[in-house]
Amino acid sequence: MNKIKDILSEIIANKRFEVDIQKRSIPLEQIQDGLPEREIKRSMKAALSNSSSGIIAEFKRRSPSKGWIKEKAEVLEIVPSYEKCGASALSILTDEKFFGGTLRDIRNARPLVNIPILRKDFIIDEYQLYQARIIGADAILLIAAALTPEKCRELTDKAHELDLEVLLEIHSESELNYIQDDIDMVGINNRNLGTFHTDVQNSFRLARQLPQNTVLVSESGISQPETVKELRTSGFRGFLIGETFMKEPCPGESLKNFISQINN
């Protein structure tokens, strides 16, 4: 088994274990019964399509490749500053073991902001979709490398049934067949999950093989405003950036300066 599958297999195995425990603690039926009405519809797809910057500002405390980035990061401080400083949408990690996040991070963030929130996690079970909906997320991430095409289709259909948009993440040509007509957004991951090496050229290469009307999101390895400008000319409308902001003392101010350089 090659390294990319080794790492992903470890993460997915742990996620199955977590979800199984959560299901035993709070059965799916109990979550279904407590599902609240959606008071406000926040479309991440529309937010990115209509934004001049398209920045999806990410809140994460750690990563498998870098370790702790900001261990004591607080949602109450950083998330509102992201919106105030111009983020089009938010990405919030809810994986605890590998990224230091929790479901509470989105639950706490939701009343503080009016922009869309993406639940970023390794989604493998419809139970996690109900979780995302009940904590106030507007969109969820599906990672092609972690799913079969059939499972991806099943989770997409259920997400839409729950009024959640889908950001489908691919990272190679072999995953182009995962993209269906009703996928809301397609994310191209510039990070190799095996080596953790990032190469933004991955976005440019794969974008040329996708339909013109696809709402494209470039993920990982974006640290320069000039890169965003170049990606926009290639059809991208979303740019998921986390570490670049989170490693700074004031992530919101870092975002503000980044956007000002994009718009110059």
Catalytic machinery residues: 58, 60, 120, 169, 189, 219-220
Interatomic CA distance for residues 183 and 195, integer angstroms: 28
Strands 67-68 and 89-93 turn out to be unpaired
Residue 4 burial (C-beta neighbours within 10 Å; 0-12, 13-18, 19+): middle
Select from 98, 83, 58, 82 the least CA-distant residue to 189: 58
Residue type, 213: N
Per residue in 214-252, is it b (16+ CB within 10 Å) or e — as a string?
A: bbbbbbbbbeebebbeebbeebbbbbbbbbbbbeeeebb
Please name the residues in contact with 85: beta carbons below 8 A apart, sequence gap of 6 or more: 252, 253, 255, 256, 259
Please name the residues in contact with 146: beta carbons below 8 A apart, sequence gap of 6 or more: 8, 11, 12, 122, 123, 124
Tell me the DSSP string of 243-256: HHHHTSSSHHHHHH
Please name the residues in contact with 199: beta carbons below 8 A apart, sequence gap of 6 or more: 190, 192, 221
Residue type, 184: D
For residue 109, CA distances in Å to 70, 71, 140, 248 come to: 17, 17, 15, 20
